[in-house]
Structure 1
């Protein structure tokens, strides 16, 4: 009887679909996923991380028909360009739902210093504000000029990928 009551209580709490203030949740175990369009040129003014309309879901939606295809809140060109530019670093973890890529230490081609990177793609827009790169070496943090050069390389590769996509 106790086990049934505890399971029913856990299920009732998990099925809650919104916060107390009525704002939609951004993720979570049973929460909604923000749907974004990677072809959006710019985010909505004044709102960082704008990704289009919110879709609500709950635990019970898993048992019903799938009515919407949910995508991730990152720009696919920046995501692919990041993995392409930093391909010399071993990937430790990737989370497309939050837009975080964490790598281990690796040496760039022709370089002797080992680096590791943490990249956060925050927005579906193909924009410099969508990308946040943090580089570390075994000796500590890396100069801002090096970080800026890596960000520029990622954004340039993302633009190349988008141009290639339009030619198809």
Structure 2
């Protein structure tokens, strides 16, 4: 009689492990996230795709439930004004994934008001400082077509301007 609960528990664990192995990355994840310096903007499409898929899949494996690799004393190293401003300026795009620990926001295709062209963006916030060096925006047109450097710079400038406005408004409280 005592063996029945142990057998049920063992069978349940075996079922869970076999189902988790069916995932795209396997039980323990895998794959590489390499950055290739081919793009004139400093971004590679391979890196953008890898970062996007990593942000979507991070924490989606069964083994992530049982592993605690995070230091409880770690604080977020993302500027809250840049984060909020990015979401404000690019509010016409749906958010596909957002990871405040790596500072990555992956946005889907959307059309800005008054434009017939759809864009997709990935925003990288790399530093807690409210600084232009802390922000990188990777834009793609519909079908993965290239977007001019001036357009990407204009989006970055709009995000930085909005972040400064948010900081000034926060200082008045």
1:151 pairs, out of 156, 166, 169, with: 156
> 2:97 aligned with 1:93, yes or no?
yes
* TM-score for both structures, normalised by structure 2: 0.59
1:165 pairs, out of 167, 170, 173, with: 170
Using CA pairs below 8 Å that are at least 6 residues apart, which structure has the higher relative contact order?
1
2:113 pairs, out of 65, 89, 109, with: 109
- For residue 71 of structure 1, report the CA deviation from its aligned partner: 3.2
Show structure 2 runs of 5+ residues with no match.
1-9, 11-66
Q: Give a deviation string over 1:64-85, Cα, whole Å, max 9, x none.
A: xxxxxx5311000000000000
Distance, in Å, in 2 between the alignment partners of 1:92 and 1:138 is 16
Look up the SS of the partner of 1:110 in the other structure.
coil
Give the length in aligned residue pairs: 108
CA RMSD of aligned residues (A): 1.8
Structure in which a larger fraction of residues adopt helix: 2
Distance, in Å, in 2 between the alignment partners of 1:29 and 1:108 is 41
Distance, in Å, in 2 between the alignment partners of 1:159 and 1:31 is 31
Look up the SS of the partner of 1:74 in the other structure.
coil
Counterparts in 2 of 1:24-63, with a 5 A limit?
29-32=68-71, 55=73
Show structure 1 runs of 5+ residues with no match.
4-27, 34-54, 56-69
